[in-house]
């Protein structure tokens, strides 16, 4: 399949991200689906969508499982096969892969993939506990370590090994808040200065408030088709040309490195090889900045810079909107927000806007190749997708 399109994306939808009081997850998902249908008037929602795959991390938030059928019901997609995928914070990248496999198998021509999470009605303590279920129970959760704590371990290791500083971490927050400020759907549309980020309260040292992603409600979806029929639905399809996914030990204590996510490196290698694309060919990327250190590690794992160089990469402005390698033009998980199950396909939504020239104030000039990097938990799952404009 080298360099060949796996599937085309003919439409995409994203709900507003934020604290969406009084709405159920299913209503938020329906908002994303409505946008995808509105963008694609040539598609008949009742007859054309043949299957739904939806990423959702946790039943605990809304006391609601059976997410596939629930979302299909509220999206007006009754009676089609509807299936939930779960790989922690990478749940909707897994939904996207399931959709790709379904189309590539020849069984379906048109499939919807997406993700959803409703989180903000629960307390931070509850959310922290629910999220921690994606880490190892006996050796991590049981001892009280949380995701901020696990990523803080990676940050201190990176600082120790490579001289990365708290300022480098804060620079990621400043950049992503700037991009999120330009994104009307972002949870926190607010610029942040380096001083403010650095002086914010410590959550798990060296990670401070502005080094952490947001607890967010949101949903996202994509409509994917066989490439040969994409133009029946839109004049501006984009193609997915590479897809990779890998896993690693559930506990980070068993890993050979704290400064790199092996699963992300393997997933990236698979996606690059399939797409016949090199890191330097990528015009725009959305990466999994659940904590600022995760974005710095992502630069290195994706080959945008050498191992250990991530701190200098952000410092030199390489990943700003006007830099050579714009990263997280949406605002990322830091500012757009991180409704965990929705994040993977929300990243693909931003790439869809960028490659079809619809990203408005965040538009990267002449963007033709895009990449999305989605991580589950502390890196026990990672998925990478590569996209090309047609």
Active site amino acids: 89, 338
The CA–CA distances, whole Å, from 127 to 49, 119, 346 equal 33, 7, 20
Q: CB within 8 A of 208, min separation 6: which ones?
A: 166, 170, 197, 198, 200, 201, 202
Tell me whether residue 22 is exposed, middle or buried, using C-beta atoms within 10 angstroms of its C-beta: 0 to 12, 13 to 18, 19 or more.
exposed
Nearer to ligand COA, 212 or 246 (CB): 212
Torsion of CA 193, 195, 201, 202, to 10 degrees: 110
> Judged by CB under 6 A, does residue 131 bind ligand COA?
yes
* Nearest approach, Cβ of residue 258 and ligand COA (Å): 15
Select 68 or 180, whichever has its Cβ closest to ligand COA.
Answer: 180
Distance of CA 125 to the CA centre of its chain: 23
Q: Which is nearer to ligand COA, 17 or 147 (CB)?
A: 147
Size of the site for ligand COA (CB under 6 A): 15
Q: Per CB under 6 A, does 328 bind ligand COA?
A: no
Q: Does 359 bind ligand COA (CB under 6 A)?
A: no
Strand partners, 208: 202
The per-residue DSSP string of 50-62 comes to: -EEEEE---STTT
Residue 27: cis peptide before it, omega within 30 degrees of 0: no
Please identify, using beta-carbon distances, which residue of 94 and 353 lies nearer to ligand COA: 94
Q: Which stretch binds ligand COA (CB under 6 A): 58-66, 207-215, 248-256, 311-319?
A: 207-215
Stretch of 4-12, 202-210, 232-240, 268-276 lying at the interface with ligand COA (CB under 6 A): 202-210
When asked if residue 203 is in the footprint of ligand COA (CB under 6 A), the reply is yes
Burial of 216 from C-beta contacts in 10 A (0-12 / 13-18 / 19+): buried
Spatial separation of the C-alpha atoms in residues 387 and 389, rounded to whole Å: 7
Smallest distance, Å, CB 162 to ligand COA? 22
Rounded least distance, CB 383 to ligand COA, Å: 15
Note whether 204 binds ligand COA by CB under 6 A: no
Question: Does an H or E element contain 83, and which?
Answer: strand 82-85
Task: State in angstroms the smallest separation of the CB of 260 from ligand COA.
Answer: 17
CB of 138: closest distance to ligand COA in angstroms?
Answer: 19
Q: Which of 6, 10, 33, 89 binds ligand COA (CB under 6 A)?
A: 89
Shortest Cβ distance from residue 61 to ligand COA (Å)?
A: 13
Give the CA diameter of the chain: 57
In degrees, rounded to 5, the angle at the alpha carbon of residue 138 between the alpha carbons of residues 135 and 143 is: 85
Binding of ligand COA by 338 (CB under 6 A):
yes
User: Does the protein bind ligand COA through residue 128 (CB under 6 A)?
Assistant: yes
Taking CB under 6 A as the rule, does residue 336 contact ligand COA? no
Q: Which of 91, 213, 239, 354 forms a contact with ligand COA (CB under 6 A)?
A: 213
Residue from 24, 209, 236, 249 that binds ligand COA (CB under 6 A)? 209
Residue number of the CB atom closest to ligand COA: 124
Q: How far is CA 82 from CA 66, 78, 201, in A?
A: 10, 9, 43
Residues in CB range of 79: below 8 A, 6 or more apart? none
Interface positions, 282-321, toward ligand COA (CB under 6 A): 290
Q: Decide whether 200 or 270 has the Cβ nearer to ligand COA.
A: 200
Residue 125 φ then ψ, to 5°: -65, -40
Judged by CB under 6 A, does residue 215 bind ligand COA? yes
8-16, 124-132, 159-167, 273-281 -> range binding ligand COA (CB under 6 A)? 124-132
Contacting residue, 74, 147, 272, 304, with ligand COA by CB under 6 A = 147
What Cα–Cα distance (Å) separates residue 24 from each residue in 4, 62, 117, 215, 216?
39, 8, 9, 15, 13
Residue 388's nearest CA partner among 267, 281, 253, 257 is: 281
Interface segment toward ligand COA; rule CB under 6 A; list 24-32, 106-114, 155-163, 212-220: 212-220
Residue numbers of the site for ligand COA (CB under 6 A)? Answer: 89, 124, 128, 131, 147-148, 203, 209-210, 212-215, 290, 338
């Amino acid at each position: 399949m080298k360099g060949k399109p796996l599937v085309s994306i003919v439409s995409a939808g994203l709900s507003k991200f934020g604290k969406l009081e009084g709405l159920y997850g299913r209503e938020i998902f329906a908002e994303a689906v409505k946008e995808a249908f509105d963008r694609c008037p040539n598609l008949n929602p009742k007859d054309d969508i043949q299957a739904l795959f939806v990423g959702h991390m946790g039943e605990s938030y809304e006391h609601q499982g059976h997410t596939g059928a629930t979302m299909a019901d509220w999206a007006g997609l009754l009676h089609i096969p509807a299936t939930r995928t779960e790989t922690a914070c990478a749940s909707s990248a897994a939904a996207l892969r399931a959709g790709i496999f379904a189309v590539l198998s020849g069984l379906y021509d048109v499939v919807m993939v997406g993700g959803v999470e409703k989180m903000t009605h629960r307390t931070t303590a509850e959310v922290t506990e629910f999220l921690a279920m994606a880490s190892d129970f006996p050796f991590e959760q049981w001892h009280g370590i949380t995701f901020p704590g696990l990523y803080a371990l990676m940050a201190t290791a990176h600082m120790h090994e490579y001289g990365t500083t708290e300022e480098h971490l804060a620079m990621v927050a400043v950049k992503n808040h700037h991009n999120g400020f330009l994104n009307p759907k972002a949870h926190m549309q607010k610029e942040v200065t380096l001083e403010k980020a650095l002086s914010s309260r410590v959550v798990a040292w060296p990670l401070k408030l502005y080094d952490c992603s947001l607890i967010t409600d949101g949903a996202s979806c994509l409509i994917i088709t066989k490439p040969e029929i994409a133009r029946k639905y839109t004049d501006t399809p984009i193609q997915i040309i590479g897809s990779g996914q890998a896993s690693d030990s559930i506990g980070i204590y068993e890993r050979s490195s704290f400064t790199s996510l092996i699963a992300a490196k393997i997933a990236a290698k698979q996606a690059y090889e399939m797409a016949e694309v090199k890191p330097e060919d990528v015009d725009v990327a959305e990466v999994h900045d659940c904590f600022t250190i995760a974005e710095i590690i992502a630069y290195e794992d994706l080959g945008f810079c050498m191992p250990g160089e991530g701190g200098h990469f952000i410092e030199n402005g390489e990943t700003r909107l006007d830099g050579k390698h714009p990263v997280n033009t949406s605002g990322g998980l830091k500012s757009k927000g991180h409704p965990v199950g929705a994040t993977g396909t929300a990243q693909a939504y931003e790439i869809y806007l960028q490659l079809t020239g619809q990203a408005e104030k965040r538009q990267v000039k002449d963007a033709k190749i895009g990449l999305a990097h989605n991580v589950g938990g502390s890196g026990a799952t990672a998925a990478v997708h590569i996209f090309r404009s047609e």
